[in-house]
Amino acid sequence: MTERGAGFRRSLIRGQLLLGLVAVGLLGGAAWLHQVHQDVLDRQYRLAEDRGRVLETLNLVLERTPSRIVNPLPATAVPEATRAVDGYLLMLTDPRLRVRTRDLETARAAALDALRREAARFGAEQVQLGMHHERLNVWSFVLIGGGVLLNGLGVLLHLGLLKRAARIGEQAERTLTETDSTLHDRTSQLVRANVSKAQLARENEFIRELHKRTEERAIRDGNTGLLRHDMMLPMLTERILGLPENSNLVVAKLDVDKMKAMNDELFGHAGTDRMLALIGQEIQNVLRRTTDLSFRSGGDEFTCVFEPTTPDDVRALPELIRAGIANLRESYTRHETDPPRTVTLWGTVSVGVVTLGEIEEWKEFARLSVHERAQRMETLENLKIKLLAKADARAYISKHEGRNRVTHEG
């Protein structure tokens, strides 16, 4: 047997011992998981008891005329729920208290609301524990199965693989000799090809740039370079969720004037597309910060979202965009006409502007944390709908009052 073959045999023996140790470790892990599993079952039982007591309390409140005043809520209930139920039961059963019917109903509604939240909380914890229980079952099966499998592999190594160690070692020696020869030939080829590190770096940079462009195409409009319309609502949601309480957010709706005349009479479809691209460039020239968002929200509509750094920005930036678009001029040849003729591209927009601070719901919503805001998605959706609807209505006012202007009220 060659020296390599003998070394391979020793490696196989060490591998067998290592497999045995890992198998023992896996079986020990399975025993630990079993104990954790029992703890989870105990916790599930206690949760079921607590939830049963919450439901019992809920029935007691629903009866309106309970036979006892003792609050059966578990000790794990939140203090607000315990106080709400205690208060209601005391108002209902203590003859010394003169309670108005309206106050009693209010206390009852508060108690019911607190109890329903507690029932939902305990129910959610039961679901989570149930999922944790299923995961523990899976991991227990994996660990036990892994231990059995590794023991089996150790036996196979002992019975079969050692007999082939010498042949494998000799084959490995031949393979290494062939590999050394192949590597030598490959090294010679690379030297002849004179592949430099700088060339490889340029190729890697090209690949990264290509990947970046592919990602950009997925979220940006191909003609204007602005964000696609289907990105507007998700990104507006993200911006409102993270907006600090004392900050503001501006939404500006831009509607291109005389779009039909541009397509049919003035520029043609291709020329109009070029004009829209120029408008997109002008918007990006004004809104350059990474936090500024600009969308092509329709065929002839654009929507801009930005946080004003000063109160003047609310009026200054939309006006700057409008004026910049009104001053755009570019010579363009219409090749679809016979003969081709050159026209000057131009355009204007009617703009409607609204701030988040104008929306009544924002005053209360702004005081919530990000987590609390995420729990009130219905309010968040109403905020977005009202913001976009007000901006759209004000853009219509601008168009109705003569076009090429900005409206902040109405």
Q: Taking 80 as the threshold, does the pLDDT of residue 151 lie above it?
A: no
Q: Which residue has the tokens 């678009």?
A: 325
- Please name which of 132, 109, 111 lies closest in space to residue 47, comparing C-alpha atoms: 132
Q: What is the pLDDT of residues 276-329, one digit of tens each?
A: 999 999 999 999 999 999 999 999 999 999 999 999 999 999 999 999 999 999
Direct distance between the N- and C-terminal alpha carbons of the chain, in angstroms, rounded to an integer? 95
C-alpha 79 chain-centroid distance: 34
Instruction: Classify residue 350 as exposed, middle or buried by CB count within 10 Å of its CB (0-12, 13-18, 19+).
Output: buried
Instruction: Classify residue 87 as exposed, middle or buried by CB count within 10 Å of its CB (0-12, 13-18, 19+).
Output: middle
Q: How confident is the model at residue 49 (pLDDT cuts 50, 70, 90)?
A: low
Which residues have a Cβ under 8 Å from the Cβ of 126 and sit 6 or more positions away?
Answer: 44, 47, 48, 51
Sign of the Cα pseudo-torsion (314, 315, 317, 321, in order): positive
How far, in Å, CA of 212 to CA of 218, rounded?
A: 10
| CB-facing half-sphere around the CA of 194: CA atoms within 13 A | 0
How far, in Å, CA of 380 to CA of 365, rounded?
A: 8
Q: Taking 90 as the threshold, does the pLDDT of residue 270 lie above it?
A: yes
How far, in Å, CA of 380 to CA of 387, rounded?
A: 11
Would you say 150 and 30 are in contact if contact means Cβ atoms under 8 Å apart? no
Q: How confident is the model at residue 138 (pLDDT cuts 50, 70, 90)?
A: confident
Domain range summary for the chain, segments of one domain joined by +: 3-162, 229-407
- Quote the pLDDT of residue 116: 75
What phi, psi does 103 have (nearest 5°)?
-65, -40
Q: 16-20, 153-157, 329-333 — which one is most confidently predicted on average? A: 329-333
Fold of the 229-407 domain = Alpha-Beta Plaits (3.30.70)
Would you say 277 and 225 are in contact if contact means Cβ atoms under 8 Å apart? yes
How far, in Å, CA of 351 to CA of 253, rounded?
A: 6
Would you say 291 and 307 are in contact if contact means Cβ atoms under 8 Å apart? yes
Would you say 301 and 314 are in contact if contact means Cβ atoms under 8 Å apart? no
Which residues have a Cβ under 8 Å from the Cβ of 259 and sit 6 or more positions away?
Answer: 272, 299, 300
Task: Indicate the DSSP class of residue 73.
Answer: -
Specify the amino acid at residue 6: A
Q: What is the DSSP string of 289-325?
A: STT-EEEE-SSSEEEEEE--SSTTHHHHHHHHHHHHH
Q: What is the pLDDT of residues 65-99, one digit of tens each?
A: 554 555 566 666 667 767 776 666 666 666 666 66
Least confident of 54-68, 100-114, 365-379: 54-68
How far, in Å, CA of 13 to CA of 20, rounded?
A: 11
- Quote the pLDDT of residue 16: 65
Q: What is the largest CA-CA distance in the chain?
A: 104
Would you say 286 and 297 are in contact if contact means Cβ atoms under 8 Å apart? no
Q: What is the pLDDT of residues 217-226, one digit of tens each?
A: 678 998 999 9
Q: What is the pLDDT of residues 236-256, one digit of tens each?
A: 999 999 999 999 999 999 999
Work out the angle at residue 311's Cα, subtended by the Cα atoms of residues 310 and 313, and round it to the nearest 5 degrees.
70
- Quote the pLDDT of residue 166: 55
302: how many CB neighbours lie within 10 A of its CB?
A: 26
Q: Taking 90 as the threshold, does the pLDDT of residue 275 lie above it?
A: yes
How far, in Å, CA of 165 to CA of 1, rounded?
A: 9
pTM metric for this prediction: 0.50
Q: Taking 80 as the threshold, does the pLDDT of residue 45 lie above it?
A: no
List Cα–Cα distances, 1 to 11, 28, 84, 88, 166, in angstroms.
15, 39, 85, 90, 6
Span 346-371, average pLDDT? 94
Q: How confident is the model at residue 396 (pLDDT cuts 50, 70, 90)?
A: very high
Name 293's bridge partners: 305
Say which residue, 343 or 209, is predicted with more confidence. 343
User: Which own/partner pairs from 104-110 qualify as long-range (CB within 8 Å, at least 24 positions apart)?
Assistant: 108/61, 108/64, 110/84
How far, in Å, CA of 200 to CA of 345, rounded?
A: 45
Q: Three-state SS for 305?
A: strand
